[in-house]
Homo-oligomer: A and B are copies of this chain.
Amino acid sequence: MAEEQTNIAGSLCMGPHTLNISTKLFETNRKRLVDALQKVKENSTVVLQGGSEVSFYDTDTSYIFKQESYFNWCFGVTEADAYGVIDIITGQSYLFFPRLPADYAVWMGPLKTLEDFKNKYKVDHVHYIEELPAVLQKLNRGHLLTLTGRNSDSGLTSKEATFDGIEKFKVDNKTLFPIIANLRVYKSELEIEVIKYVVEVSSAAHRHVMRLAKAGLYEYQCESEFLNYCYKNGGCRHSAYTCICGSGINSAVLHYGHAGCPNNYQLKEGMLCLFDMGGSYYGYAADITVTFPVNGKFTAQQKLIYEAVLKSNEAVFKAGKPGTSWADMHLLSNRVLLEELKNGGLLQGSVDEMMHEDLAAIFQPHGLGHFLGLDVHDVGGYLDGCPERSSRPGLKSLRTSRTLEKNMVLTIEPGCYFIDPLLDKALADPNKSKFLVPSVLNTFRGFGGVRIEDDILVTENGIINLTKVPRTVQEIEDWIAGKDDERKYA
């Protein structure tokens, strides 16, 4: 049996054509957590509760299970309804699984024994959940450390572990959150390997879709092909977020693709496609945006805006390295964009003064980019002690203002969109309208937008791009025309 399925002991994998994730990845994460907590709260145990399946309302069907990210980071467990414990004094790890009734096997497959789980996840101890209180009592540490804190992107609170009998223990729910969230910001070598993999799979899926997209297709048909590519070839059962497949004017809708705008427009000759999609492999996310013309040839207008955004993207690649502030990178990309729009005749006047007026936020209301990891908008952006969120247009949408450090993984995703309500508001504001050239600007109404989003790793000396898609106008036109082959991007 064992050799027929994809998982072998101590690894997670979807077959030999996919990446084999060693459980050492999670062991390393736990070790880092233990090291950090030993300094502040040694006499304690971390208690985390894994995620549960979510039913479709009151029915007996459910969404495909997705593990909670903090729990995933510590244990890599793919099953629902587990608990995990880490003893900070000894560093030993414990997993707890539901004891399932025997007849479950008929419906859900052979029941995994505790030994099976121990082999799969390589933790020190495995028990049934009902033993959790007794195990913790025997450990007899001063505190249980549970997780609760505010996600700075959603404003929601992380799920705090609870179990029958927890009232007998002293619980500290303050210590763990900032420490584990901050650890998740710095990716280990093993995590970087997984992120590289999922970014490569997603890059290849984008390349596939770029060649396939053509006038007459519907946006969602491109979404469907992307999802199939990532799952079939890369083992990614989930996407990291809802696919954004905007064509034409929809490319200016930043979070297009949701139920109210479900990627249901038809691609037309002469339009741009802005496709923002990423796979998820054992929870690790990719987040890539490509912008290209439906027919494979940029118009002069499209080229102008595309190359403005590309220069903005490239400037950040050049400037970014450990020690630079992400907020500064955002402003740098804004400045380059404004310069290019001025060169293109859409803007006039002093770029310094435009920067002072936050003019770029009219064209790029979102931030330059964000941390990427187990969450597509990964955690740790605005922890206590980090630079606070700005209140300035554009900058206030930046998901972190931290200083770049080695082993951070982020997206770089400048964009330029022509959004009527924002243009109208700016044209009506004398402080802003003086920079605008309405006669030119108005020819871009209905244009949509351009976004160029790469997934990057901060190294000791700079930034490296993990994304492998055609990026220059020439590369894109060549790729769609079939002139380049896969080897160029392998």
Whether A55 lies near B224 (C-beta < 8 A) is no
Selected contact of A227 from candidates B221, B227, B256, B266, CB within 8 Å: B227
New A-B contacts (19) at CB < 8 Å, excluding given A57-B158, A109-B261, A220-B235: A1-B249, A5-B265, A14-B220, A54-B54, A54-B63, A57-B159, A58-B158, A64-B242, A105-B419, A106-B421, A106-B422, A108-B258, A109-B253, A109-B256, A110-B253, A220-B237, A223-B231, A225-B232, A228-B232
Looking at A53, A66, A157, the one whose CB has the most chain B CB atoms below 10 A away is A66
Report the nearest B residue to A446, measured CB to CB: B1
Contact with B along A219-256 (1 / 0, CB 8 A): 01101110110011001010011100000111001111
Distance from A393 Cβ to chain B, minimum over Cβ atoms (Å): 11
Chain A interface residue bracket vs B: 35 or more
Contact with B along A47-65 (1 / 0, CB 8 A): 0000101111111111111
**Chain A interface SS verdict (over half):** loop
Complex Cα distance, B79 from A365, in Å, reads 25
Whether A153 lies near B60 (C-beta < 8 A) is yes
**A156-B66 in contact given A4-B248, A108-B260, A253-B107 (Cβ < 8 Å):** no
Complex Cα distance, B425 from A102, in Å, reads 12
Contact with B along A14-28 (1 / 0, CB 8 A): 110000000000000
Report the nearest B residue to A246, measured CB to CB: B109
Report the nearest B residue to A234, measured CB to CB: B224
Complex Cα distance, B158 from A221, in Å, reads 33
**A260-B112 in contact given A54-B63, A102-B421, A248-B4 (Cβ < 8 Å):** yes
Complex Cα distance, B225 from A297, in Å, reads 31
Selected contact of A61 from candidates B80, B261, B377, CB within 8 Å: B377
Distance from A431 Cβ to chain B, minimum over Cβ atoms (Å): 19
Contact with B along A156-200 (1 / 0, CB 8 A): 111100000000000000000000000000000000000000000
Complex Cα distance, B405 from A297, in Å, reads 59
Complex Cα distance, B376 from A105, in Å, reads 22
Report the nearest B residue to A256, measured CB to CB: B109
Selected contact of A264 from candidates B14, B158, B224, CB within 8 Å: B14
Complex Cα distance, B242 from A394, in Å, reads 40
Complex Cα distance, B268 from A265, in Å, reads 41
Complex Cα distance, B62 from A259, in Å, reads 11
Distance from A15 Cβ to chain B, minimum over Cβ atoms (Å): 5
Complex Cα distance, B42 from A151, in Å, reads 48
Complex copy number for this chain: 2
Whether B61 lies near A241 (C-beta < 8 A) is yes
Q: Does residue A10 face the partner (Cβ distance < 8 Å to B)?
A: no
- CB contacts (< 8 Å) of A241 on chain B: these are 61
- CB contacts (< 8 Å) of A465 on chain B: these are none
Report the nearest B residue to A266, measured CB to CB: B4
- CB contacts (< 8 Å) of A55 on chain B: these are 154, 156
A-B contacts, 5 of them at CB < 8 A, read A4-B265, A5-B264, A6-B264, A15-B266, A106-B422
- CB contacts (< 8 Å) of A156 on chain B: these are 55, 57-60
Distance from A173 Cβ to chain B, minimum over Cβ atoms (Å): 14
Q: Does residue A119 face the partner (Cβ distance < 8 Å to B)?
A: no
**A69-B59 in contact given A5-B264, A228-B227, A264-B5 (Cβ < 8 Å):** yes
- CB contacts (< 8 Å) of A159 on chain B: these are 57-58
Q: Does residue A128 face the partner (Cβ distance < 8 Å to B)?
A: no
Q: Does residue A78 face the partner (Cβ distance < 8 Å to B)?
A: yes
- CB contacts (< 8 Å) of A5 on chain B: these are 264-266
Interface residues of A in 77-130 (CB under 8 A from B): 78-80, 102, 105-110, 112
Q: Does residue A382 face the partner (Cβ distance < 8 Å to B)?
A: no
- CB contacts (< 8 Å) of A223 on chain B: these are 231
Q: Does residue A68 face the partner (Cβ distance < 8 Å to B)?
A: yes
- CB contacts (< 8 Å) of A365 on chain B: these are 106-107
Q: Does residue A262 face the partner (Cβ distance < 8 Å to B)?
A: yes
Distance from A62 Cβ to chain B, minimum over Cβ atoms (Å): 7
Q: Does residue A7 face the partner (Cβ distance < 8 Å to B)?
A: yes
- Nearest first, the 7 A-B pairs at minimum CB distance are A228-B228, A60-B154, A65-B259, A224-B231, A58-B156, A109-B253, A224-B232
